[in-house]
Structure 1
């Protein structure tokens, strides 16, 4: 019986982005630029993408996106790396939390750090700045965008944690998790062997004794 998207999302919460990258495979995973980091709360976020494409330095479409975002979705703001003004602030955090959104990922900056921390809404962004961005209502909602160097389509699954932000297609998630589980089991097996033998094994080995090529 096929799993629902909600069930898949809940399963994904058990994996770190690093483990999921292992499940995708070296060189095949889609992770956003490393400058886009966990900035407010240490909560892992997992959910479908709700995208906002906006001209550089213009954030006026974001409030409309907040009104349209659904519970559990993650707003992905393709801000083109602009950090001299903010695409987000504490009031938007409060509104998005009231809508039941899962979090926001910003290819750019936000402001009102203390207020955002008090709101407790998860923010992943390039940085913090005190100034605001332009307020013109320009851009498009829920179309494919490039955020942090990665193509994100509406409905793609976003996973964000202290390691970074990963983008997965819903149809690949179960296979990725299965491969991630195998890698996790291989790591456990390797640690068990080291404890039993005292031998240091810097490379993860499979349960059948074959050395795994990938180094951690």
Structure 2
């Protein structure tokens, strides 16, 4: 058994089907977030890839690494399965890039769905022009070290959200979040209802029939009904 600091844990079982992931790719991150109580979500990371890449949806392969070091990130990519998302807890450090063009090429060739990096990346122009999804905290031209420590498939904290291996990762232009695998089916159903409700509201706005009775009710509750 590897010592703590260099552990590579087994990949999580896959209770989330490819069909469910495809369905998540049709739902906006904002709508999913609303259905998780607006309590969960990765903060401070932004999409660096081209807008035409579409939504990211896949299962998390997590990495916790020493800030500025990508030894175990390379190892995680070498173990990756198609459809997985590399989720890296780099402690938000921006001094050294953790991934760049070559690692993205390798990951994409292996069928990975994208990167979520709580740290810096480089080769930003390549990401900006490409369709491989990459969410990161920032950009740095300085490269990483390759000494470790680091661990794979352990729980990580990325942008304030705890992510476990096998969690569903969804990202779009608004940002990225993780959904625990055990709650994925429930959250997906609620988010799809939310999308349908918003589609109905759009139709009412177009028709000029949209009303907001909750607005005056909220004001009345705060003012005792005084106008």
Q: How many residues align?
A: 200
Q: 1:40 Cα deviation (Å)?
A: 1.6
User: Which residue number in structure 1 is paired with residue 31 of structure 2?
Assistant: 19
Q: Which residue among 144, 150, 154 is the counterpart of 2:165?
A: 154
* SS of equivalent to 1:179: helix
Q: Which residue among 174, 177, 195 is the counterpart of 1:163?
A: 174
Segments ≥4 residues shifted beyond 3 Å: 115-120, 188-196, 202-205
Q: CA RMSD in A?
A: 2.3
Alpha carbons 2:32, 2:191 under 8 Å: kept:
yes
Gaps of 5+ in 2: 1-14, 219-227
User: Which residue number in structure 1 is paired with residue 221 of structure 2?
Assistant: none
* SS of equivalent to 2:60: strand
Shift of the 204–195 alpha-carbon distance from structure 1 to 2, 3 Å rule, reads: farther
Q: 1:60 Cα deviation (Å)?
A: 1.9
Counterpart CA distance in 1 for 2:36 and 2:122 is 34
Superposed CA deviations along residues 75-128 of structure 1, whole A, max 9, x for unmatched, are 001000011110001110111111110001000110112344466422110111
Counterpart CA distance in 1 for 2:129 and 2:58 is 22
State the TM-score, normalizing by the size of structure 1. Answer: 0.83
Q: Does 1:70 align with 2:81?
A: yes
Shift of the 63–179 alpha-carbon distance from structure 1 to 2, 3 Å rule, reads: same
Q: 1:57 Cα deviation (Å)?
A: 1.8
Q: When you count strand as a share of all residues, which structure comes out higher? A: 1
State the TM-score, normalizing by the size of structure 2. Answer: 0.80
* SS of equivalent to 2:196: helix
1:71-86 paired onto structure 2 within 5 Å: 71-86=82-97
